[in-house]
Amino acid sequence: MPTPQETARLEQIKKSWQQKRQITDRLGKIKTKIGVYSGKGGVGKTTVAVNLAVTLAKQGNSVGLLDVDIDCPNVAKVMGITEKPDYVDGQIIPAEKWGVKVVSMSFFQENQDEAIIWRGPMIHNAITQFLQATDWDELDYLVVDLPPGTSDSPLTVMQNLPMDGFLVVSTPQDLANLDAKRCINMIRKLNLNVLGVVENYTGEIFGHGGGKNLAEEVEAPFLGEIALRSAYRDSSKPTSLLDDSVGEEFDAVAKALKKSLKEFGSEAA
């Protein structure tokens, strides 16, 4: 007869298996799931995730954007979304703007300025609930803005969300690329795909070439450079929709990303 500890462990395994099955079923109508990830905050991960999503939508794809950066959820702010998602019969119906369906932790904050001070289990539960409860319907792409770093939060997403691969954002500086290399190593230790590296903040101020060198060092595709431009000061809409040069940069990133997806055998629209 099993001990109480063994019974509790079996129940936990059963619960975990049921959650993963529900998540897989919920995401069954999504063709391609892409994680946008970085080794540290402040490298423009959310900016890349948002502009990649709206670029894919502008190209005629059906696109969703999931913000699971629980501590600092900024996707809704960058997208300029003020309407909250609907909650119907236990399902989250995403908000939508610029042709992109969006779910973010920020929608569930009473005050955007409040700090979300949660330990790992609460973050795990919040991420799992987003994955289980959101009705995305049919999508060509789901872009997932992950928490930075190599701790519990990104690990929860990687272990629970069946991803086609990860786009890693870095900058020209050595320290940013060291941290990006750490998160690339984490992705590969979990036997997941590194779709490529994007270098953000390229230009005279921070330099250029660090991201490309990193991609060569870790033998991953280099997906392109995103220049540091004054156009990003305008927050009225995602910058790729405001500035032709930025739009061209993200078109090139999207093209390189689709090529990488095909090389990994994933279905790209």
Confidence of residue 40 (pLDDT cuts 50, 70, 90): confident
Residue 6 located in a structural domain: no
Quote the tokens at residue 199: 């270098």
Q: Give the 3-state secondary structure percentages of the chain, helix then strand then coil, rounded to 5.
A: 45, 20, 35
Q: For the chain, what is the domain count?
A: 1
Could you tell me the pTM of the whole model?
A: 0.88
More confident residue, 139 or 149: 139
6-10, 125-129, 179-183, 263-267: lowest mean pLDDT where? Answer: 6-10
Kindly give the pairing relationship between strand 165-170 and strand 194-202. parallel
Is 17 inside any structural domain? no
Provide the pLDDT confidence category of residue 219 given band limits of 50, 70 and 90: very high
Q: Is the separation of the CB atoms in 187 and 216 below 8 Å?
A: no
Q: 35: helix, coil or strand?
A: strand
What is the mean predicted confidence (pLDDT) over 3-19? 72
- Domain annotation covers residue 5: no
The pLDDT assigned to 3 comes to 82
Beta-strand (E) ranges in 73-149?
86-88, 91-93, 95-97, 100-104, 139-145
Beta strands in the chain (DSSP E): 30-37, 63-67, 86-88, 91-93, 95-97, 100-104, 139-145, 165-170, 194-202, 222-227
Q: Identify the residue with better confidence: 63 or 151.
A: 63
Q: What percent of the chain has pLDDT over 90?
A: 57
Q: What is the CATH number of the domain that holds 129?
A: 3.40.50.300
The residue range of the domain holding 208 is: 22-263
pLDDT at 104: 86
Q: With a cut of 60, say whether residue 73 has pLDDT above it.
A: yes
Q: Confirm whether 3 is domain-assigned.
A: no
Q: Looking up tokens 């930025």, which residue turns up? A: 246
Residue 214: inside a domain: yes
Higher pLDDT, 116 or 141: 141
Residue, of 247 and 267, whose pLDDT is higher: 247
